[in-house]
Amino acid sequence: MSWQSDDIVLELNDVTFRRDGTHILDGIDLTVRAGEHWALLGPNGAGKSTVLGFCGALTFPTSGTVDVLGHRLGRVELQELRRHIGHVNPRHPVRSPLTVTEVVLTGITGTQELPMRWEPADDELRRARDLLHAVGLDERRDSRWPTLSQGERGRTLIARALISDPRLLLLDEPTTGLDVAAREQLLETIDGLAHSAPALASVLVTHHLEELPESTTHALLIAHGRTVAVGGIDDVITTETVSRAFEHRIRVEKADGRWSARAVRERPIVGARD
């Protein structure tokens, strides 16, 4: 089945979430369509991880509705739904010394290790190798997971997430722990998805504007569990909205498709007296 650019992949409608009587989210609305690439931004404790849990069909709202890939949470078999969602988590645990190719293949089985007596079909193995080529890891496909750099692990996990041909890709702070070069390589890989998988929708979580790929099209900015701004990326990521969300004067700038943020220092008034 082909998907059109206006197909709704993910929809949160007036979502509220409470845990132990504490409001974590309040009145969150979000609509993600095929081919859109969203950033989920906000300070620590804003509720970003909880929103991502809804996107991945891992968390149920206290009130409101969540529709993922056309299915409402609470009315769908979750394991089947999750097979169509790719998830990139830099803290992905791999306990066995799997090869890079084997880690990618676990995206087919939906497991952390390869199941006993499971063997990939020829086309699945070919797909894994094609994806490793796409993320620039041809020469590392037989390397063992413990020998990889953090950046190589991130690119491997992107290939793992894509091998099941998901309609929705979730990236949970994918550049965590990376040096500048590795971060830029990973962001370049993510940017490439806009061309190699044009119908794929994505949601990337971060609280650093410098970690936003150039291909980002939209953003949801939240603070204290509430929406500060939502919509097109250039309308959402502004000096005013980011300062409000982080409760600090922050100057936001964009150059060559990338964002940066710096605190605005209060300058003393020359000649001021006590």
Helix (H, G, I), strand (E, B) or coil at 150: helix
- If you average pLDDT over residues 231-247, what whole number do you get? 96
Helix (H, G, I), strand (E, B) or coil at 138: helix
Alpha-carbon gap, residue 20 to 41, rounded angstroms: 25
Alpha-carbon gap, residue 229 to 103, rounded angstroms: 37
Going by pLDDT thresholds of 50, 70 and 90, the confidence category of residue 94 is confident
How much is the mean pLDDT over the chain? 90
Tell me the pTM.
Answer: 0.89
Q: Which of 161, 162, 142, 145 is nearest to 153 (CA)?
A: 145
More confident: 97 or 265: 97
Tokens of 73: 């949470």
Burial of 174 (0-12, 13-18, 19+ CB in 10 A): buried
Does residue 269 have a pLDDT over 80? no
